[in-house]
Structure 1
């Protein structure tokens, strides 16, 4: 399968690649030497939407590829079940398949429809130790609710997968989903829409691996990140919602510290920016400004071809979440 809005990919010389900092280095954006590139006609970047969500804030934007007139096939959702439970989701309908937009929308709607809403948050339980310090205790119902939400998410994904197959339209979609439970998060994904979890200092706590030949080669060390992002077969995807062989990769629980950031995005972002660029844009400062800056750089890359830098026009969806500091 392929997930590509523009089948004519730029030629690249893999013997010469951009000299970028290591993935986990903490650097300033000036050190990345990102060119300020303008398209023939200015591309309007949508405004960023923000909302309070599960002990933090979420910010997002979505837009169609600047190189085509067809509709945006990406969909996203920010779904709160309670003040301390919710999910973030990005779905990218497969370009070249009939009904890509319908597939991504159907998946997000299925998740919204099935997520149980808890009207009252679980009462905090704690004990007091020396000098009145409160130590939180897990309530007896917490673990059952956590397991229950996982089951709901997986069941809704499976239901959407069955409906897409039954429709016979040949449509499919990727999935990048983050489940939020209090101060923890875990990922669910299928396809090449990626998820990054990072600290304010820029340390990557977790990163999903794209379900694609190039993604697996990158993870195995066969390709460098620079070689992978410029690879002619990067658009091929091996696992999607809407396939009889669909599988969901479930990540581990990740503890979130104050000001940690989670980023989910369609390949319109990760096919045009290196991971270190994404991290440096979004890890600190205003979440709204960071999302807008990522979109601005991605669109400029899409509209211009610079040697050794990626340039792949595609629909673009960016969804970021940042955990707020605990109030005192």
Structure 2
């Protein structure tokens, strides 16, 4: 593989271009679902958000991210919409700590969420993200991971030149280095690319991809049709331990 709020599934067709579907599930262990997604093909916008595990109100944080992005204007060029998403996420980053009453917050209070969003216009695509929710692309029988995790694991590999196996052994390997609502100022990452006929995009939370091998991801995405891809992805993950919430949005050209 190369690096390149709804319990059910929904499928909507974007006239002439894109089909999409989204689904989220609590998994087998968690008491609540802290994931959220947006499936809005009419505006060419799709989002997955994952409330930061172990922190307060992760479900509120992820829903706030999704609802705020859903409220953005759908008009304008891709560049204008991308700027709007970036500004919205940065505003949310500053405001996240004010969502709950002050009495509910202590010195260690953090309320945050990962986010990965895909914007499409014509043959242009833009992926914007913060955290470890991912965007994949299936193209020409090959799987590409478009996003790169903002995690200590990736930082250890990049900065200390550790092998993936050595980095995974670190006790805080899964800690996030960027997220909406984290105490550092948010700097979302952006990747732009041209789309091609037959492209299939997958946005997903870590609870989905961590429960799948690269081969299982490829096998599901090769099915093409969003509903079929979702059914296969969730079937595979829920066959296993499914210790985390899992969410996916699939977009097909």
Compute the TM-score of the two structures, normalised by the length of structure 1: 0.66
Report if the CA contact (8 A) 2:12-2:21 is conserved.
Answer: yes
Structure 1 CA distance for aligned equivalents of residues 134 and 78 of structure 2: 23
1:226-262 CA-to-partner distances (Å, cap 9, x unmatched) read 77778754431111100241220111x2111111111
1:56-107 CA-to-partner distances (Å, cap 9, x unmatched) read 1111210112113x22100100234x5xx52110000012111100000111
1:16-75 CA-to-partner distances (Å, cap 9, x unmatched) read xxxxxxx36xxxxxxxxxxxxxxxxxxxxx65321113721111210112113x221001
The question of 1:282 aligning with 2:221 is answered yes
In the alignment, which residue of structure 1 is the partner of 2:74? 117
* Residues 203/271 of structure 1: CA separation in 2 closer, same or farther (3 Å cut): closer
Q: Which among 115, 123, 126 is matched to residue 175 of structure 1?
A: 115
In the alignment, which residue of structure 1 is the partner of 2:249? 319
* Residues 49/228 of structure 1: CA separation in 2 closer, same or farther (3 Å cut): farther
Q: Which among 149, 169, 178 is matched to residue 239 of structure 1?
A: 178
SS in 2 for 1:117: coil
In the alignment, which residue of structure 2 is the partner of 1:76? 37
SS in 2 for 1:189: strand
Structure 2 CA distance for aligned equivalents of residues 112 and 47 of structure 1: 19
SS in 2 for 1:89: strand
In the alignment, which residue of structure 2 is the partner of 1:192? 132
Give the 5 Å matches for 1:152-231: 152-167=84-99, 169=105, 170-204=110-144, 206-217=145-156, 222-224=162-164
Q: Which among 40, 56, 75 is matched to residue 18 of structure 2?
A: 56
Q: Which among 43, 47, 51 is matched to residue 93 of structure 1?
A: 51
In the alignment, which residue of structure 1 is the partner of 2:81? 149
* Aligned-residue offset at 1:173: 0.2
SS in 1 for 2:142: coil
1:130-183 CA-to-partner distances (Å, cap 9, x unmatched) read xxxxxxxxxxxxxx7222112211121122212203346421000111111112
Report if the CA contact (8 A) 2:200-2:224 is conserved.
Answer: no
SS in 1 for 2:12: strand
Structure 2 CA distance for aligned equivalents of residues 183 and 211 of structure 1: 27
User: Number of aligned pairs?
Assistant: 238
Structure 2 CA distance for aligned equivalents of residues 90 and 177 of structure 1: 7
Compute the TM-score of the two structures, normalised by the length of structure 2: 0.84
Report if the CA contact (8 A) 1:209-1:219 is conserved.
Answer: no
In the alignment, which residue of structure 2 is the partner of 1:298? 237
Give the 5 Å matches for 1:24-39: none
* Residues 145/317 of structure 1: CA separation in 2 closer, same or farther (3 Å cut): same
The question of 1:107 aligning with 2:65 is answered yes
* Aligned-residue offset at 1:276: 3.6
